[in-house]
């Protein structure tokens, strides 16, 4: 029997964040995460208690079925695997299936699960740290959600081997305050850049 992946949704939009912002992509969102169950009643005890993504439920699809749905959303050259936490399920079989149809592959991960064996098949690795327990130590971009951290805590990530570093204000009722704080930090250093959730500002998926 063919292996099936728990998939919350597959949709086409523009990448709204980080170094590939503005790039048309098909997003494959896996169900499930290792830092939070996704249920509101568990948020207070979650290792990441500020996630704003619905990754519960969905359906179980084979690699071929996932690729078929990606192809049906014709246009973008990129597929982005996200979640939840994609490293819980993403494997060589699915990556090879998607790449076999000519797509470039991006992944958005919290960095707590190893990706070394899959790394040669990933064109763009974005790590968004939510806890100190990081296994992923390098990639194309590190995107830190800014929640008011001290400058030293932000700069501590610079020892990691990422090509680009982004600071992204947390979306929510404190957004204006956090945006102002992020802008102040960015003006005082040369390495970090601002990431905005452009898709939310534009009302895109």
Catalytically annotated residue among 27, 81, 157, 165: 27
Which of 49, 52, 59, 177 is catalytic? The answer is: 52
Out of 17, 30, 51, 166, pick the active-site residue.
Answer: 51
Considering the candidates 30, 33, 140, 170, report the single residue annotated as catalytic: 33
Active site annotation includes 48: yes
How far CA 193 is from CA of 31, 39, 161, 164, 179, in Å, comes to: 30, 32, 16, 8, 12
- Annotated catalytic, 27? yes
Q: Which of 48, 55, 82, 85 is catalytic?
A: 48
Q: Catalytic site residue 199?
A: yes
Q: Which residues have CB under 8 Å from 121's CB, separation 6+?
A: 92, 95, 96, 99, 105
Active-site entry in 17, 85, 97, 108: 108
Q: How far apart are CA 184 and CA 177, in angstroms?
A: 11
Active site (annotated) includes residue 51: yes
Active-site residue (options: 13, 65, 123, 199) = 199
Is 166 annotated as catalytic? Answer: no
Only one residue has tokens 């979306």, namely: 171
33 has catalytic annotation: yes
Which residue in 3, 42, 53, 133 is the catalytic one?
A: 53
User: What is the helix (H) or strand (E) element at residue 180, kind and residue range?
Assistant: helix 175-187
Residue 153 to residue 103: CA distance in whole angstroms? 36
Identify whether 185 is a catalytic site residue.
no
CB neighbour list of residue 75: distance below 8 Å, 6 or more residues apart: 12, 24
Catalytic residue list contains 23: no
Query: Rounded to whole angstroms, how far apart are CA atoms 15 and 113?
Result: 23
Catalytic residues, by residue number, are: 27, 33, 48, 51-53, 108, 199
């Amino acid at each position: 029997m063919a292996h099936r992946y728990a998939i919350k949704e597959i949709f086409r939009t523009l990448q709204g964040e980080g170094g590939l912002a503005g790039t048309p992509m098909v997003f494959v969102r896996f169900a499930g995460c290792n830092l939070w169950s996704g249920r509101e009643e568990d948020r207070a005890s979650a290792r990441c208690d500020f996630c704003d993504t619905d990754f519960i439920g969905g359906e179980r699809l084979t690699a071929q079925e996932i690729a078929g749905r990606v192809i049906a959303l014709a246009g973008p050259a990129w597929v982005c695997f996200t979640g939840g936490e994609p490293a819980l399920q993403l494997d060589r079989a699915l990556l090879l299936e998607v790449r076999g149809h000519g797509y470039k592959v991006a992944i958005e991960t919290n960095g707590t699960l190893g990706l070394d064996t899959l790394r040669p098949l990933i064109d763009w690795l974005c790590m968004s740290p939510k806890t100190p327990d990081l296994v992923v130590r390098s990639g194309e971009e590190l995107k830190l959600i800014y929640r008011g951290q001290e400058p030293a805590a932000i700069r501590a990530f610079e020892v990691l081997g990422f090509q680009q570093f982004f600071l992204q204000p947390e979306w929510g009722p404190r957004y204006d305050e956090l945006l102002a704080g992020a802008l102040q930090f960015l003006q005082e250093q040369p390495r970090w850049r601002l990431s905005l959730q452009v898709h939310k500002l534009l009302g895109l998926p």
